[in-house]
Amino acid sequence: MLDPFGRRLTYLRVSVTDRCDLRCVYCMSDDQTFLPRADVLGLDEIERLCLAFVDKGVERLRITGGEPLVRKNVMRLFEGLGAKIGSTALKEVTLTTNGTQLSNYARGLFDAGVRRVNVSLDSLDSDRFRAITRRGDLSQVLAGIDAAAQAGLQVKINTVALKDLNEDELPDLMRWAHGNGFDITFIETMPMGEGEDRTAHYLPLSDVRKTLAREFSLAESLHRTGGPARYFQVAETGGRLGLITPLTHNFCESCNRVRLTCTGMLYMCLGQDDNADLRAPLRASADNALLDVAITEALQRKPRGHDFVIGRAATARPMSLTGG
Ligand code: SAM
Ligand code: SF4
């Protein structure tokens, strides 16, 4: 499946809910309103959509949200998709989670065929963690991360680099992650969503890199995970650091992904509003003929790149809808 710029689309991110048990300051407002449940696709429908993409050559699925593990019966989806790994084009099913429910689900995820999990964690200080997430309990997340590692899941930590909120803690977070055998990726805040100014804590990763370089030697690594991160090998810790810099470094040329929301809207680019409704063709018939046409047609509209500019919301769509 090639887009108009010859990029092969092998990666689908799927948001299974816009709901979440946390309210991270850069992602949601405290009184966030969520979609009416009636608008959200059933898990069976999401599975059918995912498999239609797998039929078209998608090799990797990442389940996200909102918080995917707060969706009722979500393990059914992991089990259904996991059963297709190897016998179809599908090579991998992963998830991005805030970790609050991982203690309960880590073992089940592994048994379903999941091998890697990204856990978002912006601070190792419980007061700060609560402030950034507006309600989170750090010990619950750390227990979840531990359970994931115990279950055999490869853990990667995702940390949004936030001016004034966790800027001074980034070296410690990296040391902690590497000390536990986890890769860690720092992410720049992206101007997503309306309402309060989500760019107030924007911290360019070029600054973070300079600060880290005082203490650590970062060697550019050729490691790639199919995502937009660039990786560095850190001599002092022996671990790997990823940097995702959508604003300061344009990663669109190698973009291999599209995103599906929990209402069945396909977004061809995280930073643009163009989308295609897949729910209507999905529901119009029990076979996938209409759906296949809709997917093919949508992919022809994948743009060359986004145009994020700090200081204005590039898109009014919050990250919790398309899952980052
Ligand atoms: N709830 C899960 C979690 O937090 O990992 C999955 C969904 S969350 C929207 C996916 C990722 O997007 C998280 O790593 C989060 O930190 C990141 N994110 C959310 N809003 C963002 C923003 N405005 N800029 C950069 N990253 C953001
Ligand atoms: Fe929830 Fe993830 Fe958004 Fe935080 S970043 S509010 S955990 S969806």
- 92 close to ligand 1 (CB < 6 Angstrom): no
Provide the token pair at 46: 């999401």
Q: How many Å apart are CA 77 and CA 92, to the nearest integer?
A: 14
Sign of CA pseudo-dihedral 269, 273, 278, 279: positive
Q: Which atom of ligand 2 is nearest to the CA of 96?
A: 2
**Helix, strand, coil share (%) of the chain residues, nearest 5:** 35, 20, 45
In this prediction, residue 299 carries a pLDDT of: 87
Q: What's the rounded mean pLDDT across residues 94-121?
A: 98
Q: Is 198 in the pocket of ligand 1 (CB under 6 A)?
A: yes
Per-residue pLDDT reduced to its tens digit, 126-160: 999 999 999 999 999 999 999 999 999 999 999 99
- Does any ligand 2 atom lie closer than 6 A to the CB of residue 239? no
* CA pair distance 135, 15, nearest whole angstrom: 22
Check residue 315 and give its pLDDT: 58
**In this structure, which residue's CA is closest to atom 17 in ligand 1?**
324
Q: Say which CATH superfamily domain 11-322 falls into.
A: Aldolase class I (3.20.20.70)
| Bigger pLDDT: 118 vs 200 | 118
Higher pLDDT, 179 or 199: 179
Q: Ligand 1 center to residue 14 CA distance, Å? A: 13
From residue 281, give the alpha-carbon distance in Å to each of 57, 58, 121, 276, 294. Answer: 19, 19, 38, 10, 7
Q: Tokens 């992963």 belong to which residue?
A: 94
Q: Supply the residue whose CA is at minimum distance from atom 4 of ligand 2.
A: 24
- What average pLDDT does the chain have? 90
- Is residue 313 pLDDT above 60, yes or no? no
Q: Residue 192: phi, psi to the nearest 5? A: -115, 145
Closest CA to 31 of 220, 195, 210, 141: 195
Rounded CA-CA distance 205/244 in Å is 8
9 lines ligand 2 (CB under 6 A): no
Rounded CA-CA distance 315/318 in Å is 8
Measured on CA atoms in the order 272, 117, 60, 161, is the torsion positive or negative? positive
Which helix or strand (DSSP H or E) is residue 131 part of?
helix 126-133
Residue 274 DSSP one-character state? -
190 Cβ below 6 A of ligand 1: yes
Q: Is 189 in the pocket of ligand 1 (CB under 6 A)?
A: yes
Supply the pLDDT for residue 310. Answer: 47
pLDDT at 92 over 50: yes
Q: Which residue has the tokens 């604003």?
A: 247
Contact 185, 244 (CB under 8 A): yes
Distance 85 CA to ligand 2 centre (A): 28
Q: For residues 165 and 216, give the distance between their C-alpha atoms in angstroms, rounded to a whole number.
A: 22
d(CA 154, CA 179): 14
pLDDT tens per residue across span 200-242: 888 999 999 999 999 999 999 987 766 678 899 999 999 999 9
What pLDDT, in 10s, does the model give residues 268-305?
Answer: 877 777 899 999 999 999 999 999 999 999 988 877 77
Start-to-end CA distance of the chain, whole Å, equals: 22
Q: Which of 309, 301, 323 is nearest to 16 (CA)?
A: 323
**pLDDT at position 69:** 98
- Find out whether the beta carbon of 119 lies less than 6 Å from any atom of ligand 2: no
Between residues 247 and 64, which one has the greater pLDDT?
64
For ligand 1, atom 11: residue with the closest CA = 324
Please report, rounded to a whole number, the percentage of residues in the chain having pLDDT higher than 90: 74
Highest mean pLDDT among 223-232, 248-257, 302-311: 223-232
What pLDDT score was predicted for residue 237? 98
What is the pLDDT at residue 293?
95
Alpha-carbon torsion 98, 60, 183, 78, what sign? positive
